[in-house]
Amino acid sequence: MKLTIDHKSPVPLHIQAEELLRRLIESPEYIEGKLLPNEVELSKKLCISRTTLRQSINKLVYDGLLVRKKGVGTKVAESKSLSSKSKNWMSFSQEMSARGIPIKNFELHVSWVFPEKRIASFFEIKGDKKILKLVRLRGRPEGPFVYFESYFHPSVGLTGEEDYKSPLYEMLEKEHAVIAMISKEEISAIAADHFIAEKLETVIGAPILFRKRFVYDLNEKPIEYNLGYYKADSFVYTVESRRE
């Protein structure tokens, strides 16, 4: 592993140092909250000034990878401290079973479609190749309360022949070695249009909790693009956050 800094490179030193540190803390020795060498020493070792090194460290601290403590040192953040961002996110199946709700699948439809522009750009692919689209209408025995539309990145390797009745993320992990790691979500309230109203067995204009979900793997590569339409009152989204 290259762990030196090239002063002749056009790449700024603090960028080089940042990348170096990213690689460093990924290595096995640094998994469990281990302290980094102190700044003065490290800056000497890397032949850059402490100021420049701090610039790099700051960025990693901001990204939540490192934690500094005055008088102690800088250590690799433990995954627990990441919960400051938000609670462990869950899949739909997990969410529901956590609430003790039995799920019924009302519709389950798999197809191959050309991605819309915003989906293609999220996946960073061109729009000329079909991708897998998964539509699911789910709810309680009495009736559906959520309509999902999911799109999957080609590299996930789904064939469309998988068993989509079982928990999806478990299947992805076991059979395709794809681990959904990061989830970015946008939640808003909308009025049901004709299509959604029909699916969710409600009236046009009914309040719907709409959730866009962007799912990434460990390497922040996009995996899934998911749209969820929840019937009002059937779903409450909880967030816990902490200032720092």
Partner DNA sequence: ATAATACATTTGTATGTACATACTTTAATA
Partner DNA sequence: TATTAAAGTATGTACATACAAATGTATTAT
Is 1 or 236 the residue whose CB approaches its own copies more closely? 236
- Which sign does the torsion angle of CA 86, 91, 96, 98 carry? negative
Which residues sit at the interface with DNA, rule CB under 7 A?
7, 10, 12-15, 36, 38-41, 47-52, 54, 68-74
Is 131 or 156 the residue whose CB approaches its own copies more closely? 156
Q: Examine residue 182 and tell whether it contacts its own copies (CB under 8 A).
A: yes
Distance CA 224, CA 222 (A): 6
**DSSP H or E run through 220:** none
Distance CA 43, CA 147 (A): 54
Q: Examine residue 188 and tell whether it contacts its own copies (CB under 8 A).
A: yes
For 140-172, give the DSSP string.
ETTEEEEEEEEEE-GGG---S-S-TTS-HHHHH
Distance CA 223, CA 155 (A): 8
3-state DSSP assignment of residue 169: helix
Is 61 or 110 the residue whose CB approaches its own copies more closely? 61
Residues numbered 129 to 168 that lie near its own copies (CB under 8 A) are none
Q: Examine residue 49 and tell whether it contacts its own copies (CB under 8 A).
A: no
Minimum CB separation of residue 216 from its own copies in Å reads 9
Among 184, 193, 195, 198, binds its own copies (CB under 8 A): 184
3-state DSSP assignment of residue 66: strand
Q: Which residues bind its own copies (CB under 8 A)?
A: 58, 62, 79-80, 82-83, 85-89, 179-191, 205-210, 230, 232-233, 235-244
